[in-house]
């Protein structure tokens, strides 16, 4: 709309002004934010927890493996309150295990991307080959 009636200069200037205001707003509210020191990456702990949870659940039968990995007690049995002999790296609580569970469930959507890429994107290039 701006491009049509005024020109490109205003269409690019308005978002630039808004983005330049962001550091000023962050600086003005710096005393209202709670700052905590960085604790490092949680990826290693999450992958270690996944490995610990999947221990003893693998099978040569893929259907059995799928069922065991998707069992209702998959994440519940690795909560620190239920583990008898806690490893040294298990320094978190039950809520963190629930967060990891939700995170892996949310990331499961990315497993479908290779199929989408092969089916929808690559099919366009296959037409050029013929």
Tens digit of each residue's pLDDT, the chain (130 residues): 666 777 788 878 889 999 999 999 999 999 998 888 888 888 988 999 999 999 989 999 999 999 998 898 999 999 998 888 888 888 888 999 999 999 999 998 888 888 777 777 666 665 555 5
Integer Cα distance of 67 and 59 in angstroms: 10
pTM (2 d.p.): 0.62
Residue 78 lies in a domain: yes
Residues 21 and 51 in one domain: no
The C-alpha atoms of residue 111 and residue 16 are separated, in whole angstroms, by 36
Give the structural domain span for 67: 43-115
What is the Cα–Cα distance from 81 to 88, expressed in whole angstroms?
14
DSSP single-letter state for residue 33: S
Q: Can you tell me whether residue 58 is helix, strand or coil?
A: coil
Give the number of domains in the chain: 2
Same domain, 27 and 74: no
Host H or E run for residue 86: none
| Domain-located, residue 77 | yes
The contacts of residue 4 (CB under 8 Å, 6+ apart) are none
Q: Is residue 71 part of a domain?
A: yes
């Amino acid at each position: 709309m701006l491009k049509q009636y005024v020109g490109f200069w205003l269409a690019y200037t308005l978002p630039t002004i808004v983005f330049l205001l962001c550091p000023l707003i962050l600086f003005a509210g710096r005393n209202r934010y709670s700052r905590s020191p960085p604790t490092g990456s949680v990826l290693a702990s999450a992958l270690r927890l996944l490995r610990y949870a999947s221990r003893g659940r693998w099978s040569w039968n893929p259907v059995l493996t799928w069922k065991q990995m998707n069992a209702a007690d998959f994440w519940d049995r690795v909560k620190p309150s239920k583990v008898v002999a806690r490893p040294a790296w298990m320094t978190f609580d039950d809520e963190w295990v629930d967060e990891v569970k939700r995170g892996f469930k949310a990331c499961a959507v990315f497993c479908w991307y290779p199929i989408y890429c092969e089916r929808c994107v690559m099919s366009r290039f296959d037409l050029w080959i013929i």
